[in-house]
Chains A and B, each alone.
Chain A
Amino acid sequence: MSTPEQQISAAIQEAIAENEILLFMKGTPEAPRCGFSARTVAALEAVGAPFAAVDILPDPRIRQELSALSNWPTIPQLFVRGDLVGGADIVAEMYETGELAEVIGVEAPAGDAPAAAEPEAPPLTIENRLS
């Protein structure tokens, strides 16, 4: 028997493994609930990267288990192909330098008009897997 925390942890690991680009954030890409999450979504949309997102707000245990796994205390957290790329500051810095597009594997946008990207999957709701 696994505890609810272990189940959440397993669901998080599965989400990270299954989604090439995954953002753990407060709120949703359409309605971010924190400025840092909003900034990170904006950077991902600006490089035109389709991404999946998990809202950590519905259950405090999501953040707790995520931070335990990633050894990273704050939200948002961006994972690309299973690896933690960083939080809002690092993603913003990498966007400025063009590294974000590189890491994600898309061409850096030629123009300065940010392309709106459709998420490749609807935002995950990890807590629903537990009921």
Chain B
Amino acid sequence: MPTTDELKQRIETSIPGANADVVDLNGGGDHFRATVIAPEFAGLSRIEQHRRVYEVFGPDIGGPIHALSLVTRAEA
């Protein structure tokens, strides 16, 4: 079962300079919300920013990670 720490680590490892804040929405280890701030998001549309984060997890989204709600920004 994925943990918030694991998700945070995967995001921060895959996206250089990213800062991720991950919460487990219902305590069940499958519905998460991540707030991700990364310099490389500058100039990207919201869709592109979210795609970048989804890419980190590939097929895990919809698998072990049932839902990953996202808030993304280029700057804090």
Contact = CB atoms under 8 A, between A and B. Distances in A.
A93 B69 CA distance: 12
Chain A interface residue count: which class?
Answer: 10 to 19
A76 to B, nearest CB: 11
Contacts of B54: 72-74
Given A86-B46, A93-B46, A74 B51 contact: no
B20 interface: no
Nearest to A72: B51
Contacts of A63: 62
Chain A interface mostly helix, strand, loop or mixed?
Answer: mixed
Interface residues of B, number: 12
Contacts of A87: 50
Contacts of A3: none
A74 B46 CA distance: 15
Interface of B: 46-47, 50-51, 54, 61-62, 67-71
Interface of A: 36, 63, 71-74, 84-90, 93
25 contacts: A36-B67, A36-B69, A63-B62, A71-B51, A72-B54, A73-B61, A73-B62, A74-B54, A74-B61, A74-B62, A74-B67, A84-B47, A85-B47, A86-B46, A86-B47, A86-B50, A87-B50, A88-B69, A89-B70, A89-B71, A90-B46, A90-B47, A90-B50, A93-B46, A93-B71
